A = this chain, B = another copy of it.
């Protein structure tokens, strides 16, 4: 008998009929002899509707009350799923994050889980019941206030509970049937991966793959919880996220997939003195505005002027804030111009096989060039290469890479020999 944590996203719960189908799947899992803990997100567009109501009463709603408001969404969905399970003859009890022992810090709207004390969940399982836990929410340790976990919160709730309960697997149900080698809307012969290591999944998520949120994968890796990403519409086993990169034998390491991201913008701070500490000054200004930056390039000095340009990317949604902060800091930094460009796209190739196969970078660049696409910026990690291109060229670049590294078939992608990477 295994202990299975299942998480269902909002698209799997968009109406009463979908809720009944989800209940059937949960009861099947229970009948197969497993202990089952379920985490449900809010139904379909409930959260958007609540956000809209909040906007109507207050342009800048206080974060504490926003958390109180938004947690109503998961309350509704989890209670309804519990009812649907009862209707199938199984016992189910829904619990708030607080009741389930999801203890967080006090940062409303973006709380971090600091402990999980799932005594009532364990009791429900011992009583033979299916336990449902409202995702995305917790209670602050000292102030006992209701908190929400921010983006990817329900996945994080599921993984944290799986860790706290020492579950055998955490299944993330969504509207796609796994992690793909590329977005099938762009690359029709993209294929679903059977397994992927935590590190590769992290790189894919950080590079724009939307299926799993970075945070829940980090939590799963830290606690070694196998994650299974699968569809609530099919019985397909989906993709298993498990295992550490260092445990993958070199000869089995492959290239995993191509991810893309349309959510970034590029800022260039042009004509700054090419002196030590100048980039530190710039990034401190951005960091103080609580903005995460992604790719960074510092150009070589313009000959004879002693001036240089610094370019970085950041989420589009933070673009205005960053530009304003940098503009205010102009007197200290002393740049000549500030340029903003949000017509960019990022394409990334991810895979542990990159470590063992020379020439990946060369093939990466050649295949993008072969598609007639210009690379504006490149950055790499141990198992990822990312390039910035024009947004209108992004799909071409994704398809070209997917094709060049032969990710579309079941075959392991062959990497062309080259002059190292």
Contact = CB atoms under 8 A, between A and B. Distances in A.
Interface of A: 16, 19-20, 23, 50, 53-54, 56-62, 64-66, 68-69, 71-73, 75-76, 78-84, 86-87, 92-94, 96, 99, 144, 146
B69 A75 contact: yes
B58 A87 contact: yes
Contact of A53 (B16, B23, B61): B16
A144 B58 contact: no
Given A16-B53, A99-B144, A144-B99, A68 B58 contact: no
B71 A58 contact: no
Nearest to A95: B68
Contacts of A96: 146
A136 to B, nearest CB: 14
Contact of A76 (B59, B61, B72, B92): B72
Nearest to A17: B56
Closest 4 CB pairs of A and B: A16-B56, A69-B79, A68-B79, A58-B87
Contact of A83 (B65, B82, B92, B94): B65
Contacts of A65: 79-80, 82-83, 86, 92-94
Nearest to A93: B64
A62 B76 contact: no
Given A50-B76, A53-B76, A83 B71 contact: no
Given A75-B75, A76-B50, A84 B57 contact: yes
Nearest to A120: B144
18 contacts: A16-B56, A20-B57, A23-B57, A53-B80, A57-B80, A57-B84, A61-B87, A62-B86, A64-B93, A65-B83, A65-B94, A66-B79, A66-B83, A68-B78, A68-B79, A69-B79, A72-B73, A72-B75
A73 B83 CA distance: 17
Nearest to A43: B53
Q: Is the interface of A mostly helix, strand, loop or mixed?
A: helix
A242 to B, nearest CB: 34
A386 to B, nearest CB: 40
Contacts of A23: 57
Given A16-B53, A69-B76, 6 more contacts: A23-B57, A50-B76, A54-B79, A57-B80, A64-B93, A72-B75
B83 A61 contact: yes
Contacts of A76: 50, 53, 69, 72
A73 to B, nearest CB: 8
A23 B56 CA distance: 13
Contacts of A146: 96
Contacts of A66: 79, 83
A75 B68 contact: yes
Contacts of A61: 83, 86-87
A86 B68 contact: no
A54 B72 contact: no
A64 B86 CA distance: 11
A348 B155 CA distance: 59
A86 B58 contact: yes
Contacts of A75: 68-69, 71-72, 75
Contacts of A64: 93
B83 A54 contact: yes
A60 B75 CA distance: 19
A57 B72 contact: no
Contacts of A73: 72
Contacts of A20: 57
Nearest to A50: B76
